[in-house]
Structure 1
């Protein structure tokens, strides 16, 4: 199906899920809740045949999510075959819910998909493989239940063997769900287009679904988060630059632990700060105001200094709520305040942030 904005260049990386994916967003097809769906449509749009939401059937992904072009919203799996006469091969849960719980009413949809011979991919904290009936049905149908967040990481951090040959860049944010993953992905691909051997390092479920590898850092036992991050770094030291997907923020009352573990575990050389223009309250805790950009940047740079004295070298602005004209005003305001390159990686492209990383890389040689 067509995607808008244009999808990233096709990747030869291993895929999670098949090439005829139906994304499940039942009753939750909005850009924030369905952020997994949003990114899959943008980055793997050619593999997506439909979005399943009976409450929005007849509309398109573009209408509801601002991406995905004419990818149809369907009411049931029966409707998918009507699109082109072919059946789907994968049902992918496309939302992020509080606590990672699968809505109880979706269990029947997953079971129906399995019995139709479809694999099911989930990035939730609640694992499909813990459901005995689903496991038995999958075995009988010869299909897979893929729990992207499931892991057995048991290593603590050591700060050993982290060479400086590969530049480590971490995206950090003012809040949750501001675009850290997509910014990291766009920047990594931009570096590749510039001739740099760059690697997008996925640390969350959606990034893993796109990249085909990585670790679900927010589902690692707390003592082993830093060690799991170090492991990711060691696995990717053969590249010139690794752009690590950030998680949440160290200033969020709910999720600061994983954010700090990611910062200290990856021990970055530099950071890209990500925020959403127009947001003034914390995601999921809207009764709490967001700290200022300066407060968050200072906090990250202060905590990073216990490893590498990493600085924020660029700002990725999520301007989805703004008009093109308002986005330019906001961009110039942030440039003036912080003296740093500022760009919305989707609206403006990542080149300005790529150039900041290349300049920083050159300064270290």
Structure 2
């Protein structure tokens, strides 16, 4: 429902400088269409880049009414709070957006369209897109994606929020720079808002989760010009290491990957907010991931972890290079941080393409 060229205002109340705002921050970094304003009272009037490191000129304002001067058409909830519930401080600005004739888009678990107060404010022609809903008519997965001719690259992580979506988006851009047909498949709220399509995996009942992934892969692969030379980059979710995550397995089952990209945060030794849950040696985790990916699939080449995308945020260039080199030496795999710059993403893509199993031509 969110068109690529619609001017949007991001509602990022209190999330501009921390991970609770990761949806809006991802849109600021990767959305190709216009982002005309950001609402965050804590940083109203400040410059975006010193706060976020994102070099995009977008005004930060105190409330939705102040954002109207920049002529947005859609107000997007940019927060991703724990549990996906609507933060109370957003309610007034959502109401103000509807009164001003704007559309709403939200990836929260709290549905906005069924809220009586908001529904009463929606005018003729206005829409509210609650994207975190289970698609209708799902089926149990049956390994149908394994027959697709296009390469299917799945990001898998050592934890939640380590940069799986960012790695996929950067690799998609690198592939397009190289003249390849590359398509990003979103599986979370930010990825879907950025690309305009995908499946909200955490809104799907577990029995149908792999089937939902399978269906969206089949849909993307059926689009014109998708051939055996195409690459489908599938956004990862969760982690096998996280005690509260169950998303990795249905992604593996549903997309039947031809290659895996391991995403890890430099120096991280345990699951975030769970210091008692350690992250195993990367080699051991890779063995588990590849073993799982080898099960539940038709005969044929088995998917392998081909490269490592290392999140080096907060490290200097020198420290980041050392961290990447250490992991590369440890695992015998190419390792870069594709978010740091285009050459790093291009190198990671080149290593991925050179690896057996990606089904991409030289």
**1:162 Cα deviation from its structure 2 partner:** 3.2
Separation in 1 of the partners of 2:314 and 2:2?
31
Aligned to 1:151: 134
1:102 correspondence with 2:86: yes
Aligned to 1:326: 319
1:253 correspondence with 2:243: yes
Q: Aligned runs of 1:58-77 on 2, under 5 Å?
A: 58-77=45-64
Aligned to 1:316: 309
1:45-69 per-position Cα deviation (integer Å, ceiling 9, x unaligned): 6511221111221212212221143
Distance verdict in 2 for CA 1:200–1:258, change over 3 Å = same
Aligned to 2:337: 344
Q: Secondary structure at the match of 1:129?
A: coil
Separation in 1 of the partners of 2:133 and 2:263?
27
**1:18 Cα deviation from its structure 2 partner:** 6.0
Q: Secondary structure at the match of 2:175?
A: helix
Aligned to 1:280: 269
Q: Secondary structure at the match of 2:37?
A: strand
Q: Quick check: 1:58–1:74 contact (8 Å CA) kept in 2?
A: yes
Q: Aligned runs of 1:176-191 on 2, under 5 Å?
A: 176-191=160-175
Say which of 111, 124, 136 aligns to 1:127: 111
Q: Secondary structure at the match of 1:347?
A: coil
Q: Secondary structure at the match of 1:34?
A: helix
Say which of 342, 346, 355 aligns to 2:350: 355
Q: Quick check: 1:21–1:48 contact (8 Å CA) kept in 2?
A: yes
Separation in 1 of the partners of 2:145 and 2:239?
27
Q: Unmatched 5+ residue regions in structure 1?
A: 1-13
Q: Quick check: 1:61–1:70 contact (8 Å CA) kept in 2?
A: yes
Q: Secondary structure at the match of 1:37?
A: helix
Q: Quick check: 1:62–1:71 contact (8 Å CA) kept in 2?
A: no
Aligned to 1:137: 121
**1:323 Cα deviation from its structure 2 partner:** 0.7
Q: Secondary structure at the match of 1:314?
A: strand
Question: Which aligned segments of 4 or more residues in structure 1 are displaced greater than 6 angstroms?
Answer: none
Distance verdict in 2 for CA 1:118–1:199, change over 3 Å = same
Q: Quick check: 1:170–1:268 contact (8 Å CA) kept in 2?
A: yes
Matched length: 347
Distance verdict in 2 for CA 1:360–1:165, change over 3 Å = farther
Say which of 201, 207, 213 aligns to 1:223: 207
Q: Secondary structure at the match of 1:133?
A: helix
Distance verdict in 2 for CA 1:134–1:145, change over 3 Å = same
**1:286 Cα deviation from its structure 2 partner:** 4.5
Separation in 2 of the partners of 1:341 and 1:69?
30
Q: Unmatched 5+ residue regions in structure 2?
A: none
Aligned CA RMSD, in angstroms, stands at: 2.1
Q: Secondary structure at the match of 1:105?
A: helix
Separation in 2 of the partners of 1:292 and 1:53?
39
Q: Secondary structure at the match of 2:347?
A: helix
Q: Quick check: 2:97–2:103 contact (8 Å CA) kept in 1?
A: yes
Separation in 1 of the partners of 2:145 and 2:151?
14
Q: Secondary structure at the match of 2:209?
A: helix
TM-score normalised per structure 2: 0.89
Separation in 1 of the partners of 2:23 and 2:107?
9
**1:170 Cα deviation from its structure 2 partner:** 0.4
Distance verdict in 2 for CA 1:188–1:46, change over 3 Å = closer
Aligned to 1:241: 231
Separation in 2 of the partners of 1:346 and 1:161?
29
TM-score normalised per structure 1: 0.89
**1:292 Cα deviation from its structure 2 partner:** 2.9
1:158-203 per-position Cα deviation (integer Å, ceiling 9, x unaligned): 1236315211110111111111111111111211221221211111
Distance verdict in 2 for CA 1:234–1:73, change over 3 Å = same
Aligned to 1:201: 185
1:221-277 per-position Cα deviation (integer Å, ceiling 9, x unaligned): 11000111111221233342211111111221111x221111111111110111111
Say which of 16, 19, 35 aligns to 2:6: 19
Q: Secondary structure at the match of 1:274?
A: strand
